[in-house]
Amino acid sequence: MRLRDLPSVDELARQSEDPLAVEAARTVVARAREQIQQGDDPGDLRLHLQAELDAARAPRLRRVLNATGVIVHTNLGRAPLAEAALDRVREIARGYSNLEYDVAAGGRGSRQDHVAGLLRRLTGAEAALVVNNNAAAVMLALAALAEGREVLVSRGELIEIGDGFRIPDVLERSGATLREVGTTNRTRAADYETAIGAETAVLLRVHQSNFRLVGFTAQPSRRELADVAHRHDLPLVDDLGSGALVDVGDEPTARASLAGGADLVCFSGDKLLGGPQAGIVVGRADLVEQLRRHPLQRALRADKLTLAALEGTLALALEAPDQIPVVRMLREPLEAVRARAVRLAELVGGEVEETVARAGGGALPLTALPSFACAVEEELAAKLRAGDPPVIAVVRDGRTLLDCRTLTDAEADEAAAAVERARR
């Protein structure tokens, strides 16, 4: 085809009744022009137009297969939900619910009541509150308890959590002033003690989620910090980041934090807990009530789909934690992961390779989870991403590694089919 044989955008668009046809034809003609200029044949433009229209209608937010070995992968949507949690979402979302209705009394109820009981049982807390995410939870805690006053936090805990978001920048938006104590590597209980003044409203502890300080370091224990706070009649707020409800590695649990003296504990719903995106606050009833009554609570509250998924996940955390996908992936015996990698390698003619999986989500940064992958040709990585569903893998030493700790058995079969298609 020569440039002057190219149809105009309108001519090509007339081949279709589709209201999106002009937009799609513009893309197709522009691409064809480039191809001709590079000496390539653009092919059948009518077929390209149809493909463009199909692509425009396909959902943009799509399911992918996570073959990276990073379990709580923030870019890939963090925690896959358990079946039981999905059932709860479907049931609540498809019709009306008692979200804010007290069925027994026949009047207004609170959306916070549905998961509060489970959270109390799981953590031993007096009260609980759920908002949109953990960043919102910490911001709300500081807004409600320290607006216009000071919050003491260790220099070693002013962290960046990813994509350039820094905890101190988020927290300043609460209207509280952060006052840094100690040094980057060493902070002592006495540093907080001397910094406490008339303006101090809260002592904040931020879990060093995604990094660890090693060498010449010191941080007061939670108990020491709680003792300092309580001697001055101040609350200790503990941002656990991921937090955990069931024991996984050395990640602190919300229960241990409360038992260690924290007055409020904030953590994420979709990190190691393995539920939906949410920010959970548990702790002293009078403080939780102050958060609940703060105007920002209305802007940051969790929606009913989140609450339904969270209730389903929390019920499993109590009764059958291994049915939560994140917990299952973290705890799966190495032999079972290896068996999956062997099967995948047999299906695609790949090689079984030892790898290291990660918890991800800024949790357990030092914990290397032994894992196994199926290694295939390096050039397949981009084609696997372009497939349907896209398969996201890791390229290392000239090969594409499909880590089997983050694939289910059924997903490993899908990955095998994807490799076959990518090779064609």
Ligand X SMILES: *Cc1c(COP(=O)(O)O)cnc(C)c1O
Binding span for ligand X by CB under 6 A among 47-55, 93-101, 219-227, 235-243: 235-243
Containing 25, the helix (H) or strand (E) segment is helix 21-37
What is the residue-wise DSSP string for 97-157?
Answer: --TTEETTTTEE--TTHHHHHHHHHHH--SEEEEES-HHHHHHHHHHHHHTTSEEEEEGGG
**Among the listed residues 66, 68, 253, 268, the single contact to ligand X using CB under 6 A:** 268
Between CA 193 and CA 367, with CA 261 as vertex, the angle to 5 degrees is 100
Q: Answer yes or no whether residue 274 interacts with ligand X by CB under 6 A.
A: no
Q: Answer yes or no whether residue 360 interacts with ligand X by CB under 6 A.
A: no
Question: Between 281 and 352, whose beta carbon lies closer to ligand X?
Answer: 281
Query: Smallest Cα–Cα separation from 242: which of 366, 119, 363?
Result: 363
Containing 395, the helix (H) or strand (E) segment is strand 394-396
Q: How far is the CB of 233 from ligand X (least distance, A)?
A: 26
Closest residue to bound ligand X by CB: 241
Question: Between 161 and 329, whose beta carbon lies closer to ligand X?
Answer: 161
Neighbours of 86 (CB within 10 A): 14
Q: How far is the CB of 345 from ligand X (least distance, A)?
A: 35
Q: Answer yes or no whether residue 251 interacts with ligand X by CB under 6 A.
A: no
Question: Between 161 and 228, whose beta carbon lies closer to ligand X?
Answer: 161
Strand order across the beta sheet in which 264-268 lies: 127-131, 279-283, 264-268, 236-241, 200-206, 150-154, 177-181
Q: How far is the CB of 304 from ligand X (least distance, A)?
A: 19
Q: Answer yes or no whether residue 253 interacts with ligand X by CB under 6 A.
A: no
- φ, ψ dihedrals at 348, nearest 5°: -110, 0
In single-letter form, the type of residue at position 230 comes to H
The end-to-end CA distance of the chain, in Å, is: 27
Q: Answer yes or no whether residue 297 interacts with ligand X by CB under 6 A.
A: no
Q: Answer yes or no whether residue 257 interacts with ligand X by CB under 6 A.
A: no
Q: Answer yes or no whether residue 309 interacts with ligand X by CB under 6 A.
A: no
Beta-bridge partner residues of 78? 73
Residues in 364-423 that interact with ligand X by CB under 6 A:
none
Residues in 145-204 that interact with ligand X by CB under 6 A:
161, 167
Containing 34, the helix (H) or strand (E) segment is helix 21-37
Q: How far is the CB of 207 from ligand X (least distance, A)?
A: 5
Q: Answer yes or no whether residue 135 interacts with ligand X by CB under 6 A.
A: yes
Report how many residues bind ligand X under the rule CB under 6 A: 14
* Contact set with ligand X (CB under 6 A): 133-135, 161, 167, 206-207, 209, 239, 241-242, 268, 279, 362
